[in-house]
Structure 1
Amino acid sequence: MDLSRFPRRQYTEGFSAIEFLPNFTRALGGPKVWIKRDDMLGLAPGGNKTRKLEFLMGDALAKGADTLITCGAPQSNHCRITLSAAVKEGLKCRFVIEERVPNSYDPNASGNNFMYRLLGVEAITVVPGGTNMAEAMEKMAAEARSQGRKPYIIPGGGSNAVGGLGYVACAQELQQQLFEMGQPMDYVVVGSGSSGTHGGLVAGFLGNNIRIPLVGIGVSRDPSDQNPLVLKEAQAIMDLLQTGIRVPQEAVVSHGDWWRPKYSVPNPAMVEAVQMLARTEAILLDPVYTGKIMAGLIGLSRKGFFKPEDNVLFLHTGGATALHAYESVILGDPLAAK
């Protein structure tokens, strides 16, 4: 899969590390858990959106953009990293924030909301849950155009075919790393939300003949709703790359048992996962995404889906900045998170 014809900005030197987690593996009782540290990618302070933004920013700059417009929920990691990229490139950045949980946006909150202010977001518009975000961003873009700007709209999560190229590149990187390590993997576990990361890996695994089962853990939807989104994203990437490959439905697997009660709302399994990885390996997860994804890995292990002898790679997509907005939940009684 040739990515060289697409404009790209490079924000990370080298590959993100793959580490074995011996203490966590012992605490869990197997399988053997490894982690790919995409939380350590470039752009403050790292995360999966950096890979997507390398291609999205390449496209934006090639089109002469001077203002980025994107959207997300309160405490959005995607918004924070998009803003970081804008700062790096000397562009302005504006957000549309969707209050999926009513009254959840606090402009003076810590976590990513603090980072928005520190990094200098130009404008934030808050809209109620269920708003058509594409229309809301286009309205913001029209306002920017009326001011003589050249806006570039980035969808939520950076999830479109251009952004998905970042995780095709990740699949190629992973294939090279595992070859050099001489370490086969039985499964790769990835978060499945706006679908760009999961869909990009599905496309990258198929296109590069990587025959490792890819297990998605939903952070906002059950498989019946999530899998079609991932399939559509993977196919859009294949079409953009002109591979001629049709993505089969069975290539998309996700589990939806760990995201409830709602997107971004804590639950006890997430609290356990965040505490467990912090206290065994000193690695930080976030409450909205990686905490629930790791809760899925733990839950599937306890159900016997993963066997003790399996090697399972967890893709750490970042987001620890948001931990600071959830301190009382993470450090309190896990049952209080219900």
Structure 2
Amino acid sequence: MTKDLGTEQFPRARLLANRTPLERLDRLSEHFGLDLWIKRDDLTGLGGGGNKIRQLDYYMGAALAEGADTILITGAVQSNYVRSAAAAAARLGMQAILQLEDRVPGMDDTYRTSGNVLLSQILGAEHMFYPEGEDEAGADRALYARSEALRAEGRRPYVIPLGLDARPLGALGYVDAAREILNQGPEFDAIVVPSGSGVTHGGLLYGLRRLGAQVPVHGICVRRAAAAQSERLNIVTTKIAALLGQDNPVTPPDILTWDRALAPGYGRMGAQAREAMTLMARMEGLFLDPVYTAKTFAGVPGLLAEGRLRPGSRVLFVHTGGVPALFAYQNDIATA
């Protein structure tokens, strides 16, 4: 698989030392009547692992190229992204400023102090807060305002933006991951991946199509309904193409989204996610998180029941990590 993806033109921080394992889930394969595999992106290593390490590879590469000494980033209170950014900053000798949004109302003190929040504190990150959870443009403005104040103090800040207006540098990590998956083999009939910001889903889909692979990529919605998520994926893949100076290989029929496990909403664990989490743990000894991967894995039986996955087909579930968030939900899990 030697075709140029176009990502080589951008600097990287080399946060991911090795490719992550691809493993067959034997017991769950028998349970579902599938040939089910897992891509272990929970094992990217740095700071608790997860998919965000691939995304940060390019953002931190850009920050290093600019001589930055501080990075600023926005995420939810239990964001895996900001925890990973704090770890990357620590490794590279930078200060991390994490802006937390209150996206999940009604959560208890455990949610606000444990899990990713606790790990970020151990990593030495500074926290600031933004009061709205669905205002990407406003959150970015707050970060840029803080960035200007730091610059006036003689610091060299670098902002990792949240909104769709920005260059999707983070998506390049999953454009690259497409080649990694294809080189690991075997060939898959379908891939199931979380779809939140659209960066992981969009980058992987773009990379696969750029390399000529036509395998369906089912994005399981973890933040917004399927129709809105499909629109977002169209924007993300179009912006990836513009960033790389290429024609977009992704067509509207390529964008597949499923939202039947989204309820009761972002950051909330419904019955399907709980069942998926328990099933993975008790049949394969692997942990999923309530926000992303449990809902995504719930998509496997859901898509199978709807006929969107064929019995006996070879399916890849992309495990994007997020396990530290489990501890923030311990009261919900314990009382289930």
Superimposed CA distance per residue, residues 299-330 of structure 1 (whole angstroms, 9 cap, x where no aligned partner): 22233322221010001000000001112323
Q: 1:260 to 1:157 in 2, by over 3 A?
A: farther
Cα RMSD after superposing both structures:
1.9
In the TM superposition, what whole-angstrom CA distance separates every residue of 1:270-306 from its partner, at most 9, and x where no partner exists? 1111111011111111000001111111222233322
Alignment of 1:270-281 (within 5 A): 270-281=273-284
- The separation in 1 between residues aligned to 2:305 and 2:163, in whole angstroms, is 30
SS in 1 for 2:47: coil
* 1:138 corresponds to which of 138, 144, 157: 144
The residue number in structure 2 matching 1:177 is 184
Q: How far, CA to CA, are the matches of 1:160 and 1:293 in structure 2?
A: 26
In the alignment, which residue of structure 1 is the partner of 2:196? 193
Map Cα deviations across residues 138-178 of structure 1 (whole Å, 9 max, x no partner): 12212222222111111249984211110010001111111
Find the aligned partners of 1:36 and 1:195 in 2 and give their Cα distance. Answer: 18
Partner secondary structure for residue 128 of structure 1 = coil
**Residue 42 of structure 2, aligned match among 36, 39, 42:** 39
What letter matches 1:268 in structure 2? A
Q: Which amino acid aligns with 1:69?
A: L
Superposition TM-score, scaled by structure 2 size: 0.92
Per-residue CA deviations over 1:64-85 (Å, capped at 9, x if unaligned) read 1111100011110000000100
Letter in 2 for 1:279: R
Match of 2:78 among 71, 75, 98: 75
Of 18, 24, 37, the residue aligned with 1:20 is: 24
Letter of the structure 2 residue corresponding to residue 191 of structure 1: P
TM alignment of 1:118-267, pairs within 5 A: 118-131=122-135, 132-156=138-162, 160-178=167-185, 183-245=186-248, 247-267=250-270
**Residue ranges of structure 2 left out of the alignment (5+ in a row):** none
The question of 1:85 aligning with 2:88 is answered yes
Residue of structure 1 in register with 2:51 after alignment: 48
* Aligned-partner residue type, residue 170 of structure 2: G
C-alpha separation in 2, matches of 1:156 and 1:62: 20
* Contact residue 31 and residue 301 of structure 1 kept, 8 A: no
- Secondary structure at the aligned position of 1:125 is classed as strand
SS at match of 1:71: strand
> Is the Cα contact below 8 Å between 2:237 and 2:248 reproduced in 1?
no
- Aligned partners of 2:292 and 2:322 also within 8 Å: yes
Q: Does the 8 A contact of 1:171 with 1:201 survive in 2?
A: yes
In the TM superposition, what are the counterparts of 1:296-311 in structure 2 within 5 Å? 296-311=299-314
Q: Distance in 1 between matches of 2:235 and 2:64?
A: 26
In the alignment, the residues of structure 2 paired with residue 273 and residue 331 of structure 1 have an alpha-carbon distance, to the nearest angstrom, of: 16
Partner residue in 2 for 1:9: 13
Contact map agreement 1:238 1:245 (CA 8 A) in 2: yes
TM-score (norm 1): 0.92
C-alpha distance in 2 between matches for 1:5 and 1:130 = 33
Aligned to 1:336: none
Change (3 A) 1:157 1:88: farther
- What SS class does the counterpart of residue 68 from structure 1 fall into? strand
